[in-house]
A and B are shown apart, each in its own frame.
Chain A
């Protein structure tokens, strides 16, 4: 690790509130030249907000920002960019139907005469930059057709094109395979060695320890500790982040799958939104009493597969059986009647009605139980919700709280309470711990394991390998719409799964050798 360079940025007592919500509360932090500085904290701790303030996307309520000792007040990202600050957001800020070059030059475009865009120059600069940093990017490729890993490189190049000296990466590894993550870390190290400063926002503690020089821990809007990398452990950091000791892994016994498959998918082919083959001749089965995890890099057909099982999308061909009932192409109601409980990743839009109250959300899908002719037995529905709030430990809520005002973890518990109290044989959980704080992750995982032990089939789809390994008895890997691996959790590891996720191993390994370059030919996978 490099030694300490001079301080480039000092954030002094920054505070930011949105209405009554205090997102950042008196946070101070310094960023040195040539360091990788990890900013860790739970979801909602204020990490992204703090960095958005530095990047000029948000204004601050109070506090000072010093850049090389001089106070600055950026009115927008344009000014921050000019001052040498770049940011790669967790949700990429790219225009999908435009080319790599167009995305990179946007905002500081090369011009020829008459104010006309100089496309050749744009392509040339993009190519030169991409070679200089060892990124394998085609300037003329349409960004929307690129796999996630390459889109991230476009984002990083965008910042480097603007000569960013201080580069903020917001949760950059959440979409990458372990191999891609290692490549990213190598890039981060070499950028730091060239005198740039990297702020690495994450909640994955192993990664923090692998790459950073210094670590700042954020909790409830404050930086509560900044330490060097040596001499701290993941457990210590976790305790700082959460404020209490954390069980890093759920305890679970061996699975005892029994009986016929609760969910059976056979030769399923699905066309995606852009007319591409998103799921190709896919088959899988989940039996009662086991947790099957589906691992894969985002955009390899998981979404389409899940939508088909939930009845939200019509497959082109193939069979889906829930407890022996064929449901492919049927309505969501039919899938649920057959025994499906669905916990969608998009809580805000698919899972819950954000504007509705907790009891209303918990009663949805259970209307039949509370129907009194055309009327709803609101009082007993509310009583049941109150009971569920206790049982599932939904915090900071009563039956009348609007769902939108709950934290991610508590919204997830509301979804779980609603779905798991139905007599469902198969539980389809999509990214169950995404955007959920560590404390709630524990609870959610424990609930899913209990469901398994009660003899239900659990199918978990997650982009987060930690979660896949924490939960699964069996791990399937999806790559370009096909299942490329079916492994027992105890007999595999991150590396092997990662290789399958990147297509380096498995049936289509011939197509995809090195993850980065080969994915470029993935013209068939338009996402």
Chain B
């Protein structure tokens, strides 16, 4: 039973990890990207639409990623070129994405709230030889679909890019001291644009996984504020990729528990569905306490990203 919950926690955490990696890159560059949900919902819709039309998973995922990156470019355009406040621009882009997908759901697929079809191909579970046979862990790690593995493998890749490459150093300096980077001749705008595009890339994968890898259906607003939960994970881990992924996994585990516990305990499912949100709020309270402790100050309120 426990291993079953753990297995589904790994699966459920996958879109959170993708989204968190996306949000983390902009976070490191000093942009609070609250449009993660918008990116994901567009990707989820484009993925399932294209997969339905072409019966190709690859094309579906690519369409999802591409659409999400287009939206990211649009947000970057609003924020970097037209100087719209990132918060307002992010909300606008998210609402636009919700509205657009709902409209296309009705207009193109002629469905009201949910779209699903037998024609949509599904990802096959991958059995990893050798690892499969390791006791306990083998059953947890083996047998997931491709995107799950990609998500977890992306964590060290992102960490390497951030902490070991020239690009990463520049991104982190831009996030901490933008004028220092500008004065050193770093093209701040371009770096921010790049992190925003990568944010789109990762959210694209998250969205594709939501509609194609997770359930094979599209529902209105199906991201369920996963983007905001991913942001909470990023804040909690202060943008460190490994810790962010770990916190995302914690949130995923909380969700897995909230799904399984009603059967086990007989408690009202509505009550247990609160678990992931309670965990999120608790973690944000911890962040808040940690910040005020460090400050030893009163009378000064600052909103720090």
Within 8 A of B (CB), among A100-122: 102-103, 106-109, 111, 115-117
Given contacts A87-B183, A107-B184, A158-B184, whether A98 and B299 have CB atoms under 8 Å apart is: no
Q: Is A336 positioned at the interface, with any CB of B under 8 Å from its CB?
A: no
Q: Answer yes or no: B135 CB below 8 A from chain A CBs.
A: no
Q: Is A400 an interface residue (CB 8 A)?
A: no
Give Cα distance in the complex from A381 to B183, angstroms. Answer: 45
B176/A98 in contact, CB under 8 A: yes
**A97 with B176, Cβ < 8 A, contacts A57-B183, A106-B186 known:** yes
Enumerate chain B residues within 8 angstroms of A115, measured Cβ to Cβ. 165-167
Given contacts A95-B173, A106-B169, A107-B186, contact A314 B298 (CB under 8 A): yes
A115's nearest neighbour on chain B, judged by CB, is B165
Question: A106: nearest residue on chain B (CB-CB)?
Answer: B184
B299 adjacent to A117 (CB under 8 Å): no
A106 CA to B191 CA in the complex, in Å?
14
Q: How many A residues touch B, CB cutoff 8 Å?
A: 39
The reply to whether the CB of B300 lies closer than 8 angstroms to some CB of chain A is: yes
Of A89, A107, A272, A274, most B-chain CB atoms within 10 Å: A107
A411 to B70, CA, bound (A): 47
**Among B169, B181, B187, B295, which residue has its beta carbon within 8 angstroms of that of A109?**
B169
B185 at the interface (CB under 8 A from A): yes
Contact yes or no, A89 B183, CB < 8 A: yes
Identify the stretch in A64-72, A76-84, A220-228 within 8 Å (CB) of chain B at 4 or more residues: A76-84
Q: With A and B bound together, what is the CA distance between A57 and B300 in angstroms?
A: 32
Q: Within 8 Å of chain B (Cβ to Cβ): is A255?
A: no
Q: Does B81 contact A (CB under 8 A)?
A: no
Interface residues of A, dominant DSSP: loop
Across the interface, do B187 and A78 meet the contact criterion of CB distance under 8 Å? Answer: yes
List residues of chain A with CB within 8 A of the CB of B166: 109, 111, 115, 117
Interchain CB contact (< 8 A) of A273 among B164, B179, B184, B295: B295
Write the chain B residue with the least CB distance to A91.
Answer: B179
- What 1/0 flags go to B136-165 for Cβ under 8 Å of A? 000000000000000000000000000011
Query: Is A331 an interface residue when CB atoms closer than 8 A count as contact?
Result: yes
**Cβ of A332 and Cβ of B294 under 8 Å apart?**
no
Chain A residues contacting B169 (CB-CB under 8 Å) are 98, 102, 106, 109, 117
Min Cβ gap A146→B in Å is 14
Counting chain A CB atoms within 10 Å of each CB, the highest count among B169, B170, B181, B183 belongs to B183
Residues on B with C-beta less than 8 A from A316 are: 296
Query: Is A93's beta carbon under 8 Å from chain B?
Result: yes
Q: B residues within 8 A CB of A103?
A: 180
In the bound complex, how far is the Cα of B190 from the Cα of A78, in angstroms?
A: 13
Partner of B184, one of A77, A82, A331, A332: A77
Bound Cα distance A259, B114 (Å): 82
Question: Which of B177, B180, B299 makes the CB contact (< 8 A) with A332?
Answer: B299
Residue of A nearest to B179 (CB): A93
Q: Distance (Å) between the CB of B19 and the closest chain A CB?
A: 26
* Complexed CA–CA distance, A115 and B166 (Å): 7
Instruction: Give the nearest-CB partner of B296 in chain A.
Output: A271
The closest CB in chain A to the CB of B161 belongs to A115
- Please measure, in the bound complex, the distance between the C-alpha atom of A115 and the C-alpha atom of B161, giving whole angstroms: 10
How many angstroms between the C-alpha atoms of A280 and B185 in the bound complex?
Answer: 40
Tell me if B182 counts as interface (CB < 8 A to partner A): yes
Chain A residues lying within 8 Å of B185, measured Cβ to Cβ, are 76-78, 81-82, 107-108
User: Would you list which residues of chain B between 198 and 256 have a CB under 8 Å from chain A?
Assistant: none
Complexed CA–CA distance, A236 and B135 (Å): 88
B297 at the interface (CB under 8 A from A): yes
With an 8 A cutoff between CB atoms, is A313 at the interface?
A: yes
Q: Report the 9 A-B pairs with minimum CB-CB distance, sorted nearest first.
A: A78-B185, A107-B184, A93-B183, A93-B180, A95-B177, A107-B185, A106-B184, A109-B166, A95-B173
28 residue pairs from A and B, CB less than 8 Å apart: A57-B182, A76-B185, A77-B183, A81-B185, A82-B185, A92-B180, A94-B177, A95-B177, A95-B181, A106-B170, A107-B184, A107-B185, A107-B186, A108-B185, A109-B166, A109-B169, A115-B167, A117-B164, A117-B166, A117-B168, A271-B296, A273-B295, A273-B297, A311-B299, A313-B298, A313-B299, A314-B296, A316-B296
Beyond known contacts A117-B169, A274-B294: 15 more, CB 8 A cutoff: A77-B184, A92-B180, A93-B183, A95-B177, A98-B176, A102-B169, A109-B166, A116-B164, A272-B296, A273-B295, A273-B296, A312-B297, A313-B298, A313-B299, A314-B298
